[in-house]
Amino acid sequence: MKKIHKDIGKFSEGLAKEYLENNDYIILDCNFKNFLGEVDIICKKNNLLIIVEVKSRYNNNYGLPRESVNFSKQKSIIKVANSYINYKRLFDINVRFDVIEVYLNFQNTNFKISHIKDAFRLN
């Protein structure tokens, strides 16, 4: 079951990456991970560094995809983002945290993307 979830996640991240590229975002990294956690997509647009969390669902039985990016998950994403910024020495750039929701059908033949810009902020 875990492999199925990983495969769905990779498929959704691929759709999100394609969506971002088609909307003039420059992809810098995908699935950046370290001992603090993982960030799905790191991209850049208009002198903004954008950290993107991708969440997918087949239905809303377990809530909206964005609802799974809770406070604990946000803290983890922020820690990894700060680590990435330090690692890449990207000190003179503003950062935004987005969530991309991917709604799939069971045949994976149709999908809908909802891009939530500035979904959460550093506190």
Domains, the chain, in order of start with CATH, read 2-120 (3.40.1350.10)
At a CB cut-off of 8 Å and minimum separation 6, what does 68 contact?
Answer: 55, 62
* Stronger pLDDT, 39 or 66, i.e. the higher one: 39
pTM of the complete model: 0.90
Q: What is the pLDDT of residue 79?
A: 95
Nearest of 103, 84, 100, 86 to residue 23 by alpha carbon: 100
| Residue pLDDT, tens place only, 7-22 | 777 888 999 999 999 9
105 pLDDT band, cuts 50/70/90, is confident
Q: What is the mean pLDDT of residues 82-102?
A: 94
Confidence of residue 57 (pLDDT cuts 50, 70, 90): confident
3-state DSSP assignment of residue 13: helix
**Average model confidence (pLDDT) for the chain?**
89
